[in-house]
Amino acid sequence: MTAAQPVVSRTRATRQASAVDDALAATTDFRTAQDLHAQLRAAGVRIGLTTVYRHLQTLADTEVVDVVRTATGELAYRRCATTNHHHHLVCRHCAHTVEVEGPEVESWLDRIAARAGFTDIAHTVEIAGSCPRCTAARA
């Protein structure tokens, strides 16, 4: 019955992935993989840190979550407010994140890619700066 094995592990993987999804849905704050892992373990979910990391990476790749780098260099994740393609303005001091759409950026990229003969293009645009609150605090 070795054929049944992949089905079992796929089901478990799906269950673990949806546990991570639920943990992200429960908060609007940025959480590190370690935070989410500890939270899931405390809730009785049997999941490895590597699995949490891998699923978060998948979510980040498909723009389901926002990713920021904390002051200590760790990556922190938060479920995006929108599922549409968008970009982020990220405060480099407090990690406050604003989701922005950039139709001009999209059409510019399409144009230059087409001109260079590229197809199947993808891009990442993240804008770092000081948010209004941090700007005021530093003034």
Q: What is the rounded CA–CA span in Å between residue 94 and residue 26?
A: 21
Does 76 bind Zn ion (CB under 5 A)? Our answer is: no
Closest to 57 in 3D by CA, of 110, 17, 103, 12: 17
Give the nearer residue to Zn ion in terms of CB position, either 13 or 134: 134
Q: Which tokens is 62 given?
A: 């498909």
Nearest approach in angstroms of CB 101 to Zn ion is 8
**In the Cβ-directed half-sphere of 36, how many Cα atoms lie within 13 Å?**
33
Closest CA to 89 of 126, 59, 56, 35: 126
- For the segment 26-65, give every residue that binds Zn ion (CB under 5 A): none
Which residues, 80 to 139, sit near Zn ion by CB under 5 A? Answer: 80, 91, 93-94, 96, 99, 131, 134
What minimum distance in Å lies between the beta carbon of 22 and Zn ion? 19
Stretch that binds Zn ion, among 4-12, 20-28, 78-86, 113-121 (CB under 5 A): 78-86
Distance between CA atoms of 36 and 16, rounded to whole angstroms? 12
Give the binding site for Zn ion (CB under 5 A). Answer: 66, 80, 91, 93-94, 96, 99, 131, 134
